[in-house]
Structures are given as C-alpha cells and as structure tokens.
Amino acid sequence: MQKIAEVLLLTFLRRYPLPTRLSLFSYLGRYAWLKDVLEALRPELFPQRQEALAEEAPEAVLPPPDDSVLGILERGEIQGRVGYYKADTYLGVRGRGHLFSAIETTSKRPVIIKEYLLLAADFAKTEAYQRQNRFQRLAGLQLADGRIQDFRVIQPIEAIADTESHQRCFLVTDVRDRSATLRQHLQRVGTLSISQVREILSQILQTLDFLHKQKFSFPNGAIQNGLVHGNLSLDSILWTEQQSQPFVYLCDLRLWEQCFDPTVKDWKSSLVTSESLKKDLQAVGEIGETLLKGLDAKSVVNLEPLFQNLLDSLRAGRFSSAEAARQELLRLSPRSPTAISALDDGTVQPAPTRRVSPLLALSLMGLVVAALVLLPRLRSTESRSTPIPQVSTCCLSEVSAIPAGTYTYTAVEDGTWWTVLQQHDLLRRGRSLSDALVQSQPKLQLQFVAADSLDQALQQVRAGKVDFAVLPLMGELPADLLAQEIAYDGLVAVVSFSYAERQEGLPAALNGKLSLQQVQQLYEGKIDRWQDIGGPDLSVRRYASKNPEAIALFEQRVLKSNQVQRLSNVGRLPAISLFRQIIRDFEDNSVGSIGITTLSEALGQCSVYPLALSRSGANPVQPLVLSNGQAVNPETDLCNRKGAYGPEPQRFQTGSYPLSYPIMVVYPRDNRRSEMGKKFVELMRTVEGQRLLQAAGLVPLSQNLTKPASAAPPNGG
C-alpha cells in the first residue's frame, strides 16, 4: 500500500515546477501520517535540495548584520508549540524583521524564520513583554469556519516569543516566504507589461476582497469579521511563477508587523473600516503605477484612458470595495486565459487556470482522490489530518435548536467517556458533565447506555439503537457513519516518579524518554532489564490500564496487532491501582515497572512519570508542559507543581505526540435519523463544554480556549 501511495504522490508532485513542488511538499509535511512517505520521495523530488533552494533565494546572501541579529544562528533549537527549529543562513531584511532559512528539526522540512527585535532603546522591558504576548496571540490567522484555503497570503506556521531575553520574536513560515518581493523583481526586469500588471492587480484585489469579507480566527481564539492588510507595498508582495505564469502572495500583514513599530499605540488598524479599506485600495493604485513605470518612475507608458482612470480612482480611494475595483478592471479588456478567478463559494484558486482536456483532468483527479483515500489508511490512527475544529460559542445554553425530548447514546464501559461521566467536581464542586447539560438545556434528556466494545458501540449507532456514540476512532468508519472530534486523549507510558533521593529512578536514568520501538520490545518481553536500553540495573514488570479502549489502541498502534493474547503476560489494573502498584514495586521490591494508560487517567497524580515518546528517527515528544510552555522533564517536581502543568493541545491536534488520538462523536450519515449527534458536537465545542472536558482530564481542541483545569481527576498520588 505504501508503494502505491508513493507512486501516486510522486506522479502528482512531479507535475509542478520546483517552487510549487517545494511548497506542496512542505504543506503536506505538516501531517504526521504523510511524513514517512514524503521522506522516501525526497531524493527523487529534490535531488539537490539545498542547491535548488539557493537558486530560489530572492538575492545573494547579504553581508551579515550585527550580532544582535545573528545571535539566532549561534543558539540551539528554537522551541515552538508546533515544532523545533534551527536557523542556518541569513537571507536579508524585509519589513521590520530579518529573514533566515531554517529547518524544522523533527520533520527536516525547510522553513523560513523571520526574526523581530524589541531593542531596549525602543521598548521598555514591560512594553516589550506586552508586545511579545500580543504577537503570539495575533500572528496567525485561519478561516473561522475551519476551511483550509490558500487565499494567497503567507500564513504563519507559528509565532514564538523568546522567553530568554524578551527582546525578540520569531515568525515561522513556509519556503514561499523567501520568494522575491515585487520590488526585487522590478530591480531585475525593469518594468512589466500592461497585461502582466493587469493580472497582478487582479490577483491582489481578489485576495484583498477575500481578506476584507471573510471571518477569521486568531491564535488567541478571537474571531474577527474581515481583516485589512494595512501594510501593502512592493515590499510586502512576493513574486512567484507557476507554469511560467506570474503569481503573487501577500505577506507581512500589519496585524503582526505593527507589534515591532515603537510609534504604534493604536492596535485597531487591522479592523476593516471605510478608512482602512480605502488605504489598502490606494496602495494597489500606487503599486500599479510603479509596476508600469519602473522604480525610477522615468518610463513613459501609453495607457488606455480607461486603465489610467482605474489607477487614478484607486489612488484617490473612489472604489467602495476591492471586488468593485476588480470587476472594473476585468471589464476594461477581455479576460486573459491565465487570469485567476474567484470561486462561487468565495474562495480563491491557488494557481492560474488553463485549459485541460477532460480525459487528463479526470486522470489527475483520480490520482489526487486515490492518494487522499489510500494515504489516510496508512496512518489513519497515528495522527490527525483534518483541520483543527473551531470553537467560538461561549456557553452550553447558547447552542440553539437543540431538539427537546429523550435521546440515547453509548460509549465503551470502563473506557474514556465512561470515566468522564463518573467525575463530579468539574469546574464546580459536586457538578458532573451530565449535571451541566441538564442545567443549560433543561428540555434535553440524554440517556447513557454502556457498550461492551468499540465494535458494539458502532453497531448500536448503525442499527438505530442509540443516536450517537462517543469513542476514540481507530480506523475507517463504515460509509453510513460520520464522526467529529470534541477533544483529544493519548496513551502514556508511565514509570515510578523519581524524587531526588531515588538515585536509580527510571525517569532520570532514561533521560525521560523511550522510543515506540523500545516500548514494543518491553511489552513483547524482548527486554527484561532496564540496563539493556540504558536504564538502571532493575528488572522489568509490565502493567496496562483496565480501560479496553487503551488496550485496543496500544495493540494497534504499538504492538501492531489486534490480538488480545499479545498482552496476556501483562497485569491489567484500574488507573489508581496501577499507579500505586508501580510505586510499590519500586520502593518495596526494587523492580522497575512500566504501565500503559491514558493521559486523562494519569493527570492529577504524581506517583508516576509519563515518559516522552518518539517515532523512528524523530525527536521524543513530552505530552505535558509547564504553564510557561516548557516541557516537563525528570527534574520537574510533579507533586509540588500540581496545577502548574498540563497537556499541550497542539501536540495532540497535529499528532506530533506519537500516541495521541481524537475523542469523536459518531452519528448516522442518514438525514432521516436524529441530528442529536451533531448537536452534541456543538455543545461540546462551546468554550464551556471544552472547559468541562478539560477538567475531566481530556485535552481541549485549542490551547487558547481554556486555562489549566482547576479540578483534575482524582487519580491518586
């Protein structure tokens, strides 16, 4: 199956010129379930990747600036929430920052880092800290409805504030961000033809119209109707060519660039107002004039009067919208066959269109569809591939159109959702999730019926015996079912927590980590003493949670088997008993025990330590982080710092934590059946619903929605 996927992807990516191919390769590399396939194809797709990248650079590497800028090259990895990055080459200045080529050290994909400085001469320490926080909250955007759409704006992968000095920030983007700006392109070619200028202005106006009218969400969870660029110039538009056609991307939005301008005190300039919209359109007019006349402005260009009037009207701010200006531009002359058009749903095509024979179009579509169908099956349970769900509604009571009546749903007995329902101190003493639903939606009555297994739960939904189920999804769903995630969980490998006086504690001896291969060997009985993998001279004893979902997931994801007898030599215990037994083995019998359980069961205790886990060839990932964003390590006192650490949602959203998985609501695809499953998703995706799930030990959909849960599940320790 993997060979088929490799052939399909290779055929698909080879169709594109190197810049587009590299962008697509980088984009697909964000999905963990594609990484192995892409890495296998890298030598064929990019036989001389570094040389090719150098050819794409907008200009030769510049003379180095001072050490305040180049310090990024001397430091180790820059740790973000999504990945770890290492800068390698200085590229130059753009806007208010300095560009560096870099590598994401886990996936080895190339990225661009833009470094911004908050020097003491411009910003007091307190103000620098405030601007760092603002930068992290706002440097990034996505469509509020969760669609993944290329609208020709360079969108940050993530924004990082340097906590060591509070004097710098880093914006991580994909390799398109190193393309030449329009100014650099003009310096090379002098001027552009009138037809090229028409096409570029059409693209810019279409992207601006998209920005001005769409609803966006930001990293801090805020929702905003429309966004202006606010910083539009020849230096904030990137020139690329795809299939010999010009194609431009907007970059350096004022939304985050203004964080580093000491003269800016008003943070409302990114909002769409008549004045801010007018400034964007005026900038388009100025750009059009310069593209035609060149940078020295000495060229004489004989324009059609109507085209000159259009530019004058843009510069004068006479158009009411970007779309009105673009429609006027398109009326001035016949449409170019390479012109980019808006789609009916308001999205933007990511590349110039051209005529393609129906047979070729069907063949290419078949390749893409086949790749999208087959590849998820290769990694369907190892990482997420769907967009991160959006949460905007505040409260359970604000979800409208909840059908009145009694509805039945299911989950596996002793499974994760079963455990969630047993907890009675969620956000408020004595309050369960069921209580919160009854109080907020009094006309709704939900009855829970336990299932014996995952398969039985799915069958009950399909047979109409229940309206929906809440389960961890382990593979492909039957065609008559749909599923949406409401939270995340993960499997953790835990060992006895090592206090300072425990000289042979396992966490410290193992450097706080294991590979999945080592975990597999431990549970298959191939490793019986910890010293065989660098640990202390202790024998190994194995345990697993009594949670049947955890057992099934562990067998599928680690043991690569669904045969229960593979764990026949493993003691299965409820979570609290498992933790107590592990610590008792260590303290009373000098045995190094290991247990497999869910993160939701392990939170809120300090008798065991969850190890960082790694896939083959990748860096280990620790699921828990401190409140300052730093990963928990063997030196962290889990007992004295209760409440100061918790799971990092993004490591579960993206699948970078190897044993993460989504908790899904599964419901019928049939519209004739009850819609209660979809409504339950809406309830759980409210801010209040997410906080309740987090308090129950699950990982919320976004790190920006909730604070660390004040009521952790009482799992002992």
Q: For residue 407, what pLDDT band results from cuts at 50, 70 and 90?
A: very high
What are the pLDDT digits (tens) for 312-325? 999 999 999 999 99
Position with higher pLDDT, 385 vs 334: 334
Chain segment 433-481, per-residue pLDDT in tens: 999 999 999 999 999 999 999 999 999 999 999 999 999 988 788 888 9
For residue 715, pLDDT over 70 is answered with no
- pLDDT in the model for residue 567: 63
pLDDT band at 32, cuts 50/70/90? low
Q: Specify the higher pLDDT residue, 105 or 343.
A: 105
Q: How would residue 141 be classed by pLDDT, with cut points 50, 70 and 90?
A: confident
**Tokens 């392990």, residue?**
602
Q: How confident is the prediction for the chain on average, in pLDDT? A: 80
List, in order of start, the domains of the chain with CATH numbers. 57-348 (1.10.510.10), 400-486+665-695 (3.40.190.10), 489-662 (3.40.190.10)
Q: CA 645, CA 547: separation in Å to the nearest integer?
A: 24
Model pTM score: 0.50
pLDDT value of position 102:
93
What pLDDT band is residue 568 in, cutting at 50, 70 and 90? low
pLDDT in the model for residue 597? 96
**pLDDT-based confidence at residue 286 (cuts at 50, 70, 90):** very high
Amino acid at site 99: L
Helix axes 687-695, 676-684, angle to 10 degrees: 80
Q: How confident is the model at residue 598 (pLDDT cuts 50, 70, 90)?
A: very high
Q: Which of 415-429, 442-456, 700-714 has the highest mean pLDDT?
A: 442-456
In percent, how much of the chain has pLDDT > 70? 78
Q: What angle do CA 631, 632, 635 make, to 5 degrees?
A: 130
Q: Is the pLDDT reported for residue 372 higher than 60?
A: no
The amino acid occupying position 679 is K
Sign of the alpha-carbon torsion through 248, 253, 256, 261: positive
- Top pLDDT among 206 and 55 is at 206
Single-letter code of the amino acid located at 312: D
Buried b / exposed e across 501-512, counting CB within 10 Å, b at 16+?
eeeebbbbbbeb
| pLDDT band with cut points at 50, 70 and 90 for residue 64 | low
pLDDT class of 527 with cuts at 50, 70, 90: very high
Report which of residues 709 and 206 the model is more confident about.
206
- Output the pLDDT for position 642: 58
Whether the pLDDT of residue 707 is over 60: the answer is no
